[in-house]
Amino acid sequence: MQFGRLRRVGMLATLLALTFVSPALATPALVIDADSGQVLYQREATDNWYPASLTKLMTTYVALSAVRDGRVTLDTPFVMSERAASMAPSKMGFRPGTEVTLDNALKMLMVKSPNDIAVMIAEGVSGSVENFADEMNATAVKLGLKESHFVNPNGLPDDRQVTSARDMAMLGRALYKDFPEEAGLFGIGALQLGNRYIPTHNGLIGRYPGADGMKTGFTCAAGFNLVASATHGGRRLIVVVLGAPTARERTAMAIALFERGFGQGGGLAGLFGGGGSGLGLVDNLPSPGIGPAPDMRSQVCSRRGRAALLAADEEDMRAAEPQPVASAGRGGLARGLTAAANPTDPVLMAAAPAPHFDPVPVFVGPKPGWTGPVAKAKTEPFAAPESASAYAASPDKQESGEPGQAASAPLALQGAVKGAKLGSLRASHARFVKKREAKPIEAEAKPIKKIAAVARPRKPLAHPAAEKQSR
């Protein structure tokens, strides 16, 4: 037994060395108590970093704020624009003109992490991506985020879009605190769209006991990012891991941090570098302000093909044959842990077979009987750009094509799906952010522009799943 414990400690020490010990390769990590905001552990927590799809937590916060303010409702249909449909993967692939309720769109955003849906939400709430980015930055100021600046709602590569582990932990905490009724949104295990089963990218859900949310992110420049929450005995912790080299290591690092935070790590605590207890509140960590983020491309993507990177991003949910895990409620939360995982070993937990969840159904189209307004982008000429790819090994060596895109929606919904074209990373956002390039990063919040939804009479529609589509 002692040998087994030493072996597990040795495995964890090897895993964590790259992130927590080596100064040259150290990447940010943070553990906080969600209720008090007390920092339990931190390593480079205020360093600027590319958020990748962690951006979508802010997109969700702004969208839920618009619901709270009465600008839209969760049942409001949002319309897919040409601009939104042109986004690079990950995406749903719906054709321009497709309508999706905000409730369904937010579920897709948290589980599948589609970049087209993020832009659709931004345009429906604020009229344009640029206006929505202004709202994101105003919200960042209101929440006290000090290292974050946003220019798009999905986290596709842009050197100006940065954040920090501290800011992401504060944002996660604010989502739970300000919108407690939507907490289940961040812990959905899988979606069912027509005949397609769509699992979460969050490798902790169903593997680590008590894991109940939030969001993953990945680009070559950012590495594998994660904001995660877990609850033990009524106490919720939030963990942030940025820049992990693989999805599986990201999961194992987060599990190890939760073990430390919940006081279950025993002899594992000494393996961590960085600060320990008595670090004060997360709001009060010294801030360097907004600045450039390091590029992790050489450590994460330089020797991997695009297909390998796509597989790596899905690695957590394809580790082995799925094992049934009971789930319930809007979030489809797993109520058990795969038997193959040893509950004291982060490495084995992260490599355990992927659980199978009872999926939460999502739909395309307005809610049956909806006669209210729809939310969509302001009408303006649009020229489809060449799309940025999160998986580019370098700006000059981006692979083309979109393997598997035809399967991104069920056959019954093929009329709403189209392919997307990958292009040059350097030209990705040239048109979208043209009028913002001359703007300096502003420290003060701008007045939020309220964009009225576009009213359109609608006849009641028959829908075979009318009862199932309600919230």
Higher pLDDT, 433 or 235: 235
User: What integer pLDDT is reported at residue 40 of this predicted model?
Assistant: 95
Kindly give the interhelix angle for 55-68 and 115-126, rounded to the nearest 10 degrees: 30
Q: Which residues, at least 6 apart from 14, have a Cβ–Cβ distance to it below 8 Å?
A: none
Residue 193 has pLDDT above 50, yes or no: yes
- Provide the pLDDT confidence category of residue 147 given band limits of 50, 70 and 90: very high
User: What integer pLDDT is reported at residue 385 of this predicted model?
Assistant: 53
26-40, 343-357, 362-376, 385-399, range with the lowest pLDDT: 385-399
Q: What is the DSSP letter of 449?
A: P
- Provide the pLDDT confidence category of residue 347 given band limits of 50, 70 and 90: confident
User: What integer pLDDT is reported at residue 418 of this predicted model?
Assistant: 41
User: What integer pLDDT is reported at residue 217 of this predicted model?
Assistant: 97
Residue of 41, 14, 52 whose CA lies nearest to 296? 52
Q: Mark 11-24 as b/e (b = at least 16 C-beta within 10 Å).
A: ebeebbebbbeeee
Q: What percent of the chain has pLDDT over 90?
A: 58
Higher pLDDT, 4 or 241: 241
Is position 113 annotated as part of the catalytic site? Answer: yes
Q: Dump pLDDT digits (tens) for 437-469.
A: 444 444 444 444 444 444 444 444 344 343 344
Candidates 53, 81, 86, 90; catalytic one: 53
Q: Dump pLDDT digits (tens) for 70-101.
A: 999 999 999 999 999 999 999 999 999 999 99
Mean of the per-residue pLDDT values of the chain? 77
Is position 177 annotated as part of the catalytic site? Answer: no
User: What integer pLDDT is reported at residue 427 of this predicted model?
Assistant: 40
Residue 344 has pLDDT above 50, yes or no: yes
Q: What is the DSSP letter of 302?
A: T
Give whole-number Cα distances, 102 to 75, 380, 471, in Å: 6, 22, 11
User: Averaging pLDDT over each range in 19-28, 39-48, 271-280, which range is the top one?
Assistant: 39-48
Domains (range + CATH), the chain: 2-436 (3.40.710.10)
User: What integer pLDDT is reported at residue 453 of this predicted model?
Assistant: 47
Residue 112 has pLDDT above 50, yes or no: yes
Residue pair 362/260 in contact by the 8 Å Cβ criterion? no
Q: Which residues, at least 6 apart from 234, have a Cβ–Cβ distance to it below 8 Å?
A: none
Q: How far apart are the first and last CA of the chain?
A: 49
Higher pLDDT, 416 or 284: 284
Is position 53 annotated as part of the catalytic site? Answer: yes
Residue pair 156/425 in contact by the 8 Å Cβ criterion? no
Residue of 118, 302, 135 whose CA lies nearest to 221? 302
- Provide the pLDDT confidence category of residue 362 given band limits of 50, 70 and 90: very high
Candidates 81, 86, 90, 113; catalytic one: 113
Candidates 56, 91, 146, 376; catalytic one: 56
Q: Dump pLDDT digits (tens) for 391-444.
A: 554 443 333 333 333 333 333 344 444 433 333 333 433 443 444 444 444 444
Residue 52 has pLDDT above 70, yes or no: yes
Q: Which residues, at least 6 apart from 454, have a Cβ–Cβ distance to it below 8 Å?
A: 373, 374, 375, 376
Residue pair 433/110 in contact by the 8 Å Cβ criterion? no
pTM value is 0.76
Residues in a beta bridge with 237? 33, 230
Average confidence (pLDDT) over 39-50: 97
| Three-state secondary-structure class, residue 287 | coil
Residue 324 has pLDDT above 90, yes or no: no
User: What integer pLDDT is reported at residue 350 of this predicted model?
Assistant: 84
Strands 77-79 and 211-219, by their bridges, are unpaired
